[in-house]
Amino acid sequence: MLVGRDVPIAAVTALIDQAQRQAGGAVVLCGEAGIGKSTILSYGCELAAARGVRVAAVAGVQAEVHIPYAGLHRLWWLLGGDRSAGGTGIESPYTAAMTLLALIGSRDEPALIAVEDAHWLDRGSWEALTFAARRLGSEPVAMVLTIRDGEDVDRLLAQAGLPEQRLEPLTPADSGTLLDTVAPGLSPPLRDRVLAQAAGNPLGLVELGQVAATSGGAALLPSWLPLSTRVERTFTALVAELPPATRSLLLVAALDDGDGLDEILAAGSRFAGRPVTVADIEPAVTTRLVRVDDTYRLRFRHPLLRSALYQSAGVADRRRVHAALAEVIATDLDRRVWHRAGAAAGPDEALARELTETATRAGDRQAASVALAAFQRAVQLSEDPAERGRRLLAAAEVASEQGDIAAARQLIDDVAEEHLRPADQAWLSYLREAFFITGWSGTARLMLFAELIDALRRDGDQQRAIDALIVMSLRFYWSNPPVQTIQAYLAVADEFDSSKENPRLTAAVGLIAPVQRGAVTLERMTQLRARFDLTPAEQQHLGLSAGGIGALPLSAQFFSAAVAGIRAQGRVGVLAQLLTSQAFTAACQGDTRMARPTAAEAAALAAETGQPAWTLTAHLTLGHAHALAGDTDAALDAADRAEQVLLPGGRLPMLALVQLIRGVAALAAGRPADAYAQLCRIFDPGDVAHHAYLPLVTFGHLIEAAIWSGQEEALRAQIDRLSGVARESASPSLVVALRYAEAVLSGDGRTYEAALAADLSEWPFERARLERAYGGWLRRRRRSAESRPLLRSAAATFDALGAAPWAERARAELRASGESLRRAGDDAGSLTLQEQQIARLAADGLSNKEIAERLFLSPRTISTHLYRIYPKLGIKSRGELAQYVDLRTRTDAPQPYVE
Share of the chain above pLDDT 90, in %: 45
Average pLDDT, rounded, for the chain: 85
Q: How far is it, in rounded angstroms, from Cα 234 to Cα 249?
A: 19
Q: Which CATH class is domain 828-889?
A: mainly alpha
Return the closest-CA partner of residue 267 out of 250, 243, 283.
Answer: 250
| Range in 85-94, 143-152, 341-350 the model is least confident about | 85-94
In the prediction, which pLDDT does 321 show?
Answer: 95
Whether domain 6-166 has CATH 3.40.50.300: the reply is yes
Q: How confident is the model at residue 403 (pLDDT cuts 50, 70, 90)?
A: low
Find all residues with CB under 8 Å of 515, minimum gap 6, and list them.
Answer: 693, 725, 728, 729, 731
Whether domain 628-823 has CATH 1.25.40: the reply is yes
In the prediction, which pLDDT does 836 show?
Answer: 81
Q: What is the dihedral angle through the alpha carbons of 479, 484, 489, 491, rounded to the nearest 10 degrees?
A: 170
Q: How confident is the model at residue 696 (pLDDT cuts 50, 70, 90)?
A: very high
Stretch 502-515: mean pLDDT: 92
| Range in 92-101, 561-570, 701-710 the model is least confident about | 92-101
In the prediction, which pLDDT does 566 show?
Answer: 84
Q: Parallel, antiparallel, or unpaired for β 298-300 and 290-292?
A: antiparallel
Stretch 21-29: mean pLDDT: 90
Q: Which residue has the higher pLDDT, 581 or 189?
A: 581
Q: Parallel, antiparallel, or unpaired for β 111-116 and 290-292?
A: unpaired
Provide the 8-state DSSP code for 432. I
Stretch 508-516: mean pLDDT: 93
Above 70 in pLDDT, residue 405? Answer: no
Domain ranges of the chain: 6-166, 172-224, 422-551, 628-823, 828-889
Q: How confident is the model at residue 385 (pLDDT cuts 50, 70, 90)?
A: very high
What distances in angstroms separate CA 333 from CA 67, 96, 336, 361, one per listed residue?
11, 20, 5, 11
- 88-108 pLDDT per residue, tens: 456 677 778 888 888 877 777
Return the closest-CA partner of residue 740 out of 751, 730, 732.
Answer: 751
Q: How confident is the model at residue 431 (pLDDT cuts 50, 70, 90)?
A: confident
Above 50 in pLDDT, residue 86? Answer: no
Model pTM score: 0.74
φ, ψ for residue 364 (rounded to 5)? -65, -30
In the prediction, which pLDDT does 893 show?
Answer: 34
In the prediction, which pLDDT does 894 show?
Answer: 33
Task: Name the strand (E) or helix (H) holding 575.
Answer: helix 572-588
φ, ψ for residue 149 (rounded to 5)? -60, 155
Q: Parallel, antiparallel, or unpaired for β 298-300 and 111-116?
A: unpaired
